[in-house]
Amino acid sequence: MKRFFYLLVLIGLSALVFTLASPLQPHAQADGDPDRPNRKVSRDIVQKVKTGHGADLVRVIIQPVGAWNTSLDYSIEDSGGSNVRRFRNFQVRAVTLSANAAAALANRSDVDYVSLNREVRSLGHLSATTGADQVRTQSGTNSTGLDGTGVGIAIVDSGIDTTHKAFLDRSNNVRVIYSEDFTGEGRTDDPYGHGTHVAALAAGNGRISNAQYLGIAPNANLLNLRVLDSQGVGTTAGVLRALDWIASNQTLYNIRVVNLSLGMPAIDSYRTDPVCRSVRRLVDSGIVVFAAAGNNGVDASGNKVYGHIHSPGNEPSAITVGASNTLGTDGRSDDTVASFSSRGPTRSFFTDANGVIVYDNLIKPDLVAPGNKLIEAQAVNNLLVTDNPTLDAGVSPVDNRKMMYLSGSSMATPVAAGIAALMIQANPSLSPNLIKALMMYTAQPLAGFNMLEQGAGQVNAVGAVKLASLVRTDLNETTTVGDPLLTVTENAPPQNTIADQTFTWSRGVILNYTYATGSDLINKYQTVYRTGGLLADGIITGDGVILPEPGFFSSGIVTGDHILTSNGIITGDGAPFISVSDLWGNLLQDGVFGNGIITGDGIVTGDGIVTGDLAATAQSAAVNGEQSTTMGMQLDDGSDCLHY
């Protein structure tokens, strides 16, 4: 096998808005034959072949049927394949070869799917408005309450500036306990500036400005896995290598949470997308994975756009996070879904045996979290601030104490990831599925926004950690559906107060194409909470009928037949927005999904899951906040606060 190298296609990048691919053709084919559908090759490869660029060298990800075999290795070599990258935990290869050869390989019976090694891109009192402050002061676990101690959070991003004060513990030890570069640049710092900000949102300490910019889990350990280069660009193969490393080292570093504030156009169905499959492997091993929804919620004219969830946010097992806007206040009564936050449903797809395109159409995001103009750690001399000086929040003139603004679902995702770390510290026995269910059940639905915009609602650290601490620690594979889930028999009312506002929990969970409600979701063990499955297992969808299959859900669970516009109370309330059968049948109110993207009033645009004209909305991070209001900037006096 020849030596591996990366084939990077460098393009301009906004920190917050993805530039999307051009529309794709309606049917896939292999080896240059436009009349022969091939369900096993991604359409961007097909497009190259069809447009006369079949001889172009491309970097692809090849997934086998079952285990990898030497015959397939020989076939790749005979096809002119080079620079082969193997993975320890995943049955895939990253290979450079011609587009024609890639399409031809997909015809082999031992090949499951061939896709392009696509470009990956990165997509403020935060601790008060999320309830994380209350978790630390009310838990009584130790002198500082729950703060993520001992939990490993893997930040798969553009690197972390480990010299920043935000990443020290109270004994002045750096909490970034491992760093590795997967970009080929040979560095693990953060010249781009995105990963440092993301890491600090999840787990930054409160040393600067008297704990005004406190991360959610300020004593968690961080794993710095750098997959985005100095321009903020990476590849599918780079992300796979980082996820592969996590799979090999999760026990050594107690990696329980993975944060993916990045993404790529969700073209391939989650069933065949290699990153989605790798995410599923991690979730099945007990790691909870958070993925950014994306930042394409509006078109160039400011109209709402549906269907722009990015990969791996289209993976059902991931917790996909959109961005909310706190309007600069700690109180939650005025919070909204940020207009730029990507809306569902997922529009990734596969082609069936008859050549018919089948869209995934999952309800995403699962949750929203604050993500508009948040202030957190600034990496020294980073590109984002160099190109956009107004991103510097003006907190401090000292390099390792500087703070910056950023907006986007990239910022919302580590907020949710930090809450998961607090839940795991409270109860290490929690499975990823149970963490996901508890976070959705305790979320606050935001009035006036439908489930394709906010999922179950805005994250609520107080409620999620409270329930997490009450879950039985002896749950296992033999626990039967309907057994008690909690250690108590009487629950407090399903509500709590944050920043002087009392609100009711959603009391529901999103299940791929529908939602479920009922107090038995937290009073009784449901089989779908186990590790190795999906929350939506056992939900039957067909002819508009939604039923829980016996064995997965107990009685007392109600599933909905509409995606709803919330009235701000519970998941099951609100006006119907679209019926589940219509979603399944590709309809939206008076418009039809067809092969296009839905805009606010059901207007169909484009010919594929992504539209190229959205590049016009790719604004810099400096201007991507919805409001000029921020989460209360406070100058740093240069002294370290250790009372966070």
Active-site annotation, residues: 157, 194, 410
With vertex at residue 636, the alpha carbon angle to CA 633 and CA 639, rounded to the nearest 5 degrees, is 150
**Distance in angstroms (rounded) separating the CA atoms of residues 45 and 100:** 8
**Distance in angstroms (rounded) separating the CA atoms of residues 482 and 521:** 10
**Distance in angstroms (rounded) separating the CA atoms of residues 75 and 95:** 12
Q: What residues contact residue 214 under an 8 Å CB cut-off, 6+ apart?
A: 125, 126, 127, 132, 133, 204, 205, 206, 644
Q: Which helix (H) or strand (E) holds 224?
A: strand 221-226
Give the count of alpha carbons within 13 A of 45, CB side only: 33
DSSP H stretches of helix in 204-273: 236-249
- Using an 8 Å Cβ cutoff, are 485 and 500 in contact? no
Residue 124, classified by CB atoms within 10 Å of its CB into exposed (0-12), middle (13-18) or buried (19+), is buried
**Distance in angstroms (rounded) separating the CA atoms of residues 421 and 434:** 13
**Distance in angstroms (rounded) separating the CA atoms of residues 546 and 548:** 7
Angstrom distances, CA of residue 411 to CA of 79, 205, 559, 622:
43, 16, 31, 14
Q: Which helix (H) or strand (E) holds 290?
A: strand 288-292
The phi, psi pair for 613, rounded to 5°, reads: -70, -10
Its sign, for the CA torsion 221, 227, 229, 232, is: negative
Output b/e per residue, 453-462; b: 16+ Cβ within 10 A.
bbbbbbbbbb
Pairing of strands 82-86, 93-98: antiparallel
Please tell me what DSSP assigns to residue 83.
Answer: E
**Distance in angstroms (rounded) separating the CA atoms of residues 38 and 29:** 5
**Distance in angstroms (rounded) separating the CA atoms of residues 284 and 371:** 28
Q: Which residues pair with 498 in a beta bridge?
A: 501
Nearest residue to 98 via CA among 76, 72, 118: 76
Instruction: Give the dihedral of Cα atoms 313, 203, 420, 441; nearest 10 deg.
Output: -80
Q: How far is CA 535 from the centre of its chain?
A: 16
- Using an 8 Å Cβ cutoff, are 635 and 30 in contact? no
**Distance in angstroms (rounded) separating the CA atoms of residues 104 and 306:** 34
